[in-house]
Chains A and B, each alone.
Chain A
Amino acid sequence: MIEFDRPWALASLLVPLLVTILALQARRAPRASTGTLELWKQVPPEAARAPVRRSSPPWALLLLVAALCAGSLALAGARAPAQSSPRWIVLLDRSPSMYASCGGASVLERALESLDAQLVGAREFRCVAGQFVSAPEPLVPQSWLARPAGDWDEPEWERLDTPGSVWVTDSPSKSPLHASVLRVGCGQSAGLELAARKGLFVDARLEGTAFGQLALSWSEARGVARLPAPQEALLSIVVAGDGPSRSVRCAGRGWSLEGAARAFSPVFDEPVEVWLACEGESVVRARPGRIEVAWDGAPKLAGDDLEFALEISRRLDRACVASIDAPGSGPTEFRSGEPPLPEAPTRSYVPWLATLAAALAFGSLAARR
C-alpha cells in the first residue's frame, strides 16, 4: 500500500487518463460516411479483408502517460505507509539482581512477561542490555535469560531516554525524562510507569535573578507547572557550583552578563551541555533533567535582554520539550495510558517518482523523434 501526503493531488491522474483517451481516439480509424459502400465492397477481397494496419505500438504515448502518472504520484507525495505496530526500544537491566529467583522464575523473566502483557500489539522490539542488540522475535535472546558471565556493566540509560523507550529494571539509578520505566521486583506487582514526572522546579535562590525570572516566564508560557520540590520535576533549575566565587563577564548577541560565579564540579557519569560560559568557565550547564547555574547572587544583565531571553528559552525548549507543538498534549506531560511512541518510519517515494517521471518524459520525447 501507498500513502499520500497530498491525496487531493491524485486528481491530477485525470490528466494522463484524458491524454490516453484523446490519443486512443486519434489513433482509431476515422469513421467516414459514404454513399458508395457498395463500391468499396467491390475492391479485391484480399484488400477488403485486410485489417486496418497499425503502426508500431505508441511508445511515445505510453511513456508520456507513464511519466504523467509518476509525476502525479510524486505531486501527491507518495510514501510507504507507517508501520502498523509501534516500535519500542527496550533497555533491559541484566544486573545480577534481575536474575534473582522469584517464584520459580527470575525477576527478569517476570519482567519480560509483564512487559509482553502490557505492550500487546507492540511486538517489534529492540532490546538493549548494555549494548544495542536487535532481537525482534522472540522478545529477547534465550541466552539473555541466563545470568551474564563476567562483570556486569551498567546500561547507558541516557542513550535511550527517548519517547518509545522502556527501561526494564528493578532499581533504576536514573530517572528518565522521556522514556517509560517498567519497575520490577519479586513480591511486588510489576507495572509500567510512564514517564510521569512533570513540571519545573526553580531553585528559590534564582528567583531574583534574570535567569530565574526568565525560567519562570518560560514555564508559564509553556504551560509547565512550577513544582515546589525537585524530586517530582521533569526539569530542575538549581544553583550549583562549589568553587570560590569570582567576578566574571560574558556576552552573547547584543547582551552581556556580569557578576560573581562559582566553578562547577566536573561531571563524568552523564552528558553535560554547557549553555553559558564566561571567560572560559561554564556558568550555566544542562544535565539530564537538571539545569545548573553557577551564579553567586544575581548577575547584571545589560544590552539586548530580549535576545538573551530568546536564547535561553530555546535551550529550555530543547531540554524539556520533545514535541512542544503537539496538539492536545502538554509539552512535558504524558497522558495516562498513552506512552509516547516513536514515530513509525516512513519512506518517501517522491524523489524516486520524480526521477522516474523525468526519465520517462525524456524517453517519450525521444520516441517521438
Chain B
Amino acid sequence: MDLPSERLGADSARVVLGGSFRERLERFAATVRASAARDEGRAGIAPGQGVELEGHRPYREGEDLRDLDWELLARLGRPWVRVRRQERGERLALALDTSASMAVGSPSKLEHACELAAALALATVTGGGSAEVFAHGADGSVERSSLRTRRDVPALLEFLRRRLARGERPLREVLSAVGRVRARRVIVLGDLMDVEPVDVLALARRGTRVAAVAVLARRELAPRAAEGVEWFDPESGDALALALDAATLKAYGEALEGRLAAWRSAFARRGAAYRVTAADAAFETLAGELVR
C-alpha cells in the first residue's frame, strides 16, 4: 500500500529555490508587469494613485465583506465583490514561518512558502512598491530582507535560501516584528499550525490589509489510506501511530476542514484573505491571485 512519505519523498529543512525557479520567477514578474500595463492603459491610472476598482466577480466564502457590492446584491440577488487593483507604491511585509514543521513535504512547505514570498515581493516591486520578508535566522532572531528594486532580487533569494526549517521558531515572534513596521499589506506564509487567526488578524490595523496563506503538505491535505503510519511532529517530538483506514481518514479530514473553516470564517469576518495551498503546487497561480 502506498505510504504518503514514501510517495512524496523525504522532508527537507533546506530551501533550494533551484532548477528553473529563477526563470519561472522572471516569467511571473513579466506577466504581472504586462497585466499592470494593460490595466493602466485601460483605466488611465497613473502610478501612485490609490486602490482602484478593476471590476466585479462572484463573492467567495470568507472574503472581505467590505468589498461586497451591496448595490449589485440588491439588484441581482447574488453577492458580487469589487475587485481592486493593487495599489501603486504599496509596502508589502511578508511573514515567513520557518518552524520545524515547515520541513514537511517534498518539496517542503518552507520551499513553497519561499517561492511564494519571492514571487509576491518581486510582483510588488514590479508594481512600484517595496517588500520586506521577515523570518527567523540561524541564531533564532527575526531577520528581514528588503526588496526595493529588481536589483535586490539576488539578495532576497540568498536570504530565502539561508532559511532553515528547524526547532521551535514561534511564528508569533515574526508577526510581532512585522507589526512594528508600517506596511500597507501583510501576508503571512506558513502552515499556521502554531498560531490562531487572532494572532494574524491583530496585524490588520487601519490602513493595513492582511492575508494568510496556509501551506500544507500533500500528506497533510489528503493523506491516503495506509496499513499504518507513525505520524511525527518535528517540533514537539510527539508521535502517534495510526492505521489509516477510511474511518480514520474521514475523521482527520473533518478535523482539518474544521480548522480551515475556522480560519476562513475568522478572516472573512475581518475582510481579510485566507488561502490554503499545497506545498507541491505551482506558486504562480496563488501568487497571481494575491497580487491582484
A and B held together in a complex: yes
- Chain A contact residues, CB within 8 Å of chain B: 29-44, 47-48, 50-55
Considering only CB atoms, which chain A residue lies closest to B250 in the complex? A43
How distant is A48 from chain B, measured CB to nearest CB, in Å?
6
B239 at the interface (CB under 8 A from A): yes
Q: Which residues of A contact B230 (CB under 8 A)?
A: 29-32, 52
Known: A33-B231, A37-B238, A47-B248. 20 other contacts (CB 8 A): A29-B241, A30-B228, A31-B230, A32-B231, A33-B234, A34-B231, A34-B233, A35-B101, A35-B191, A35-B217, A36-B216, A38-B193, A39-B256, A40-B255, A48-B240, A48-B242, A51-B241, A52-B228, A52-B242, A55-B227
CB-contact partner of A29 in B217, B228, B236, B247, under 8 A? B228
Considering only CB atoms, which chain A residue lies closest to B245 in the complex? A47
Decide: A30 and B5 in contact? CB cutoff 8 A: yes
Decide: B241 and A32 in contact? CB cutoff 8 A: no
Query: How many angstroms between the C-alpha atoms of A279 and B283 in the bound complex?
Result: 107
What is the count of residue pairs linking A and B with beta-carbon distances less than 8 angstroms? 112
Given contacts A43-B251, A51-B241, contact A32 B227 (CB under 8 A): no
Query: How many angstroms between the C-alpha atoms of A55 and B228 in the bound complex?
Result: 11
Decide: B240 and A40 in contact? CB cutoff 8 A: yes
Q: Can you offer 20 A-B residue contacts whose CB atoms are under 8 A?
A: A30-B229, A31-B229, A31-B232, A31-B239, A32-B231, A32-B232, A33-B231, A34-B101, A34-B220, A35-B191, A35-B233, A36-B191, A37-B236, A39-B259, A47-B243, A47-B248, A48-B240, A52-B227, A52-B241, A55-B227
Given contacts A33-B104, A35-B191, A40-B242, contact A47 B247 (CB under 8 A): yes
Give the most central of A29, A33, A47: most B CB within 10 Å: A33
Query: How many angstroms between the C-alpha atoms of A35 and B218 in the bound complex?
Result: 12
Query: How many angstroms between the C-alpha atoms of A37 and B236 in the bound complex?
Result: 9
CB-contact partner of A40 in B217, B228, B231, B245, under 8 A? B231
Query: How many angstroms between the C-alpha atoms of A35 and B193 in the bound complex?
Result: 7
Decide: B251 and A36 in contact? CB cutoff 8 A: no
Query: How many angstroms between the C-alpha atoms of A32 and B239 in the bound complex?
Result: 9
Q: Which residues of B contact A38 (CB under 8 A)?
A: 193
How distant is B12 from chain A, measured CB to nearest CB, in Å?
11
B6 at the interface (CB under 8 A from A): yes
